[in-house]
Structure 1
Amino acid sequence: MSAILAEKKHLFSCWDRLKGQIRDKIIILFLDFDGTLAPIVEKTGLAALPEETRKVLEKLSRSPCFRIAVVSGRMLADLKQKMNIPHITYVGNHGYEIEGPDINFRGLIPPSMNEAMGFIRENLNGKLASIPGVHIEDKGITLSLHYRSADPENFKLIKRIFNNTCKPYLKNNQITVKSGKMVFEIRPPVVWDKGKAVLWLLNKWKRVLGGDNVFPVCIGDDVTDEDAFKVLKGKGVTVRVGQERDTAAEYYLGNQEEINQLLSLFLESAA
């Protein structure tokens, strides 16, 4: 375990103190999907929300003490289909698509972005076709290159092909690039990410519900969740799922399987 992570505390060991912080508050739960609500799987299309987790989330969504936003890199339509829970807010494509009660947001994408994405997708498909285990996911606004199922011996080659393909578009400010868990993301060249989306939603809920009554809790497992952890520092509670690396989160959970216990604790706190 890294020195920085060793200084973090497991959330369950601090639960009694946290209960005092959230007493009489409306809890805003910002939850990642893959690796947080749902176990990580090799083929992203097979990821599924466990039934036990679904039941707890449905109860939380019906409680006046909670608001729920699922914040994911998945395309909005895909995320909604995977979750299929009404009365919650869905944040897809790392914040470029947001939909929920009284919310319908789509990020502004420069026209040149669509053309660039088309060329990049075709080039990557052609150059990576001979490497097994690589999957290019076109999410409309963003493009993801997944290599979780590839042979580790090919990781450097995959990264080199990706970087060389994207380089001219990055130079011309037509795209931005980020990396996650066994994935490279190509995004629009605008200053927007999970952190910006989370802060936008939090401020919106503060205006509606009263700033002093709102307490945000953000839980995620990926590099892309770090943007949300950073913007919420000092504003609420941030939780990293897993212990693999340094994180801006204040607390951690040992693994994805602990999420049900944590959600149940939140539900009990409102009883």
Structure 2
Amino acid sequence: MKVHYSTINVVGNNDDDINDGACLFTSSLHHHHQASHSTYHSWLVEHPSALGTFDRMMKGAKGKRVVVFLDYDGTLSPIVDDPDRAFMSDEMRSAVREVAKYFPTAIISGRGRDKVKEFVKLSNVYYAGSHGMDIMAPPKPLIKSSCDAKYNGVVLDKKCSEVLFQPAKKFLPTIREILAKLVEKTRKIQGARVEDNRFCISVHFRKVMEEDYGLLEDKVKSVVDNYPGFHLTEGKKVMEIRPSIEWNKGHALEYLLETLGHNSTSEVLPLYIGDDRTDEDAFKVIRSRGEGFPIIVTSKPKDTKASYSLHDTSEVLTFLLRLARWRKASSSSRSLFTTALVSNWFYGTTMAFGKVL
């Protein structure tokens, strides 16, 4: 996270020299933009658009069970300065709801489970918060009027929703301790924000001045270094503190596939859309299975294990709507085909019966 500065010197002290310098700078930016544009298009050859290759992808999905996994920030919602205002649009919510009608769907986010559920506001999806360390199924109807902490062997949270898996539960007291120390250590750094994600902690620095990046990093490290059972990672303008256990978004994907009874590599196609480093673990799992669609959301070239790409959240929206329409059309075709078979069978049987008569 160390910041390196470069300066642009404009030679001379008259207007012509300054204008020449400005022109050179503008020209440099123009060529840099062209080079970046060219590089991105070259990168797209290896990571083609999931929209441009949609028909080919779905051709391979025929007869298979598609299971959908979605990141939240940068995928369903744009990256914003204030993490508390990372709202998804009504259109995106409607698209996810529609997808979940036809496919088992899970949101796997670094956010706390309650927070991402508050943003998404859907009851027909699975939620895996804290990078998959807190997994919850869609709520099921209760037989009792009030729920117990455990009912019929199923763990329920305070809102009577089923909790499937919390592999880092034993770390909760220590996480609370680290959280309090980070809040105290960083409170004087303007723009820094510590977010409690329950099983992990995020330190956001999108609003921190660049000259304070190093100071913030040092303060965060000074806390984390005292806890050998935890490690520090960096994402998009955020540092994250997590328990050092063998669990990530890739493990969460595998766990959900197995729990949902969709672990067969030959019949199941996991489809994962994400934009950040932490999503790479899920991409790796899909690649190792040899079946599925790992899709990265990015507007610039990235070193990634994803096979396909989408440019931004607006393309994610378009893709999800198209995916739901594809399955709906496939279901309608199968229904019409079945109806035609039954009709033909009935007509043929009736004619044969008439001849017998």
Q: TM-score, normalised by structure 1?
A: 0.89
More strand by share: 1
State the partner residue of 2:158: none
- 1:190 equivalent to 2:227? Answer no
> 1:80-127: per-residue Cα shift (whole Å, max 9, x none)?
11111122111111111111147622323364x344334433332232
> 1:19-75: per-residue Cα shift (whole Å, max 9, x none)?
211123222110001110111111111111211111122222222xx1110111111
List runs of 5+ in structure 1 lacking aligned partners.
Answer: none
- 1:52 equivalent to 2:62? Answer no
Three-state SS of the structure 2 residue aligned to 1:98 is strand
Asked if the contact 1:5/1:247 (under 8 Å) is kept, the reply is no
Q: How many Å separate the matches in 2 of 1:215 and 1:240?
A: 16
Larger gyration radius, structure 1 or structure 2: 2
State the partner residue of 1:140: 198
Aligned equivalent of 2:295, options 225, 239, 254: 239
Aligned equivalent of 2:50, options 11, 17, 22: 11
The one-letter amino acid of 1:150's match is V
- 1:252 equivalent to 2:309? Answer yes
List runs of 5+ in structure 2 lacking aligned partners.
Answer: 1-35, 141-161, 330-357
The one-letter amino acid of 1:263's match is L
- 1:29 equivalent to 2:68? Answer yes
Asked if the contact 2:110/2:197 (under 8 Å) is kept, the reply is no
Q: How many Å separate the matches in 2 of 1:57 and 1:246?
A: 27
How far does residue 243 in structure 1 lie from its aligned partner after superposition?
3.4
Three-state SS of the structure 2 residue aligned to 1:13 is coil
Asked if the contact 2:169/2:199 (under 8 Å) is kept, the reply is no
Three-state SS of the structure 2 residue aligned to 1:265 is helix
Three-state SS of the structure 2 residue aligned to 1:248 is coil
Q: How many Å separate the matches in 1 of 2:278 and 2:214?
A: 21
Q: How many Å separate the matches in 1 of 2:134 and 2:88?
A: 20
How far does residue 236 in structure 1 lie from its aligned partner after superposition?
0.5
More displaced, 158-167 or 87-96?
158-167
What fraction of aligned residue pairs are identical, expressed as a percent? 30
Three-state SS of the structure 2 residue aligned to 1:10 is coil
Aligned equivalent of 2:282, options 225, 228, 252: 228
Relative to structure 1, is the Cα distance of residues 190 and 86 closer, same or farther in structure 2, using a 3 angstrom cutoff? same
The one-letter amino acid of 1:13's match is G
Relative to structure 1, is the Cα distance of residues 38 and 207 closer, same or farther in structure 2, using a 3 angstrom cutoff? closer
Q: TM-score, normalised by structure 2?
A: 0.69
Relative to structure 1, is the Cα distance of residues 27 and 110 closer, same or farther in structure 2, using a 3 angstrom cutoff? closer
Three-state SS of the structure 1 residue aligned to 2:291 is coil
Asked if the contact 2:133/2:168 (under 8 Å) is kept, the reply is no
Q: How many Å separate the matches in 1 of 2:305 and 2:82?
A: 28
Q: How many Å separate the matches in 2 of 1:163 and 1:182?
A: 16
Structure showing greater relative contact order (alpha-carbon pairs closer than 8 Å, 6 or more residues apart): 1
The one-letter amino acid of 1:242's match is T
> 1:184-210: per-residue Cα shift (whole Å, max 9, x none)?
1111221101110011112233458x6
State the partner residue of 1:79: 116
Relative to structure 1, is the Cα distance of residues 199 and 154 closer, same or farther in structure 2, using a 3 angstrom cutoff? same
The one-letter amino acid of 1:56's match is A
Q: How many Å separate the matches in 2 of 1:266 and 1:67?
A: 13
State the partner residue of 1:151: 209
Q: How many Å separate the matches in 2 of 1:55 and 1:125?
A: 36
State the partner residue of 2:339: none
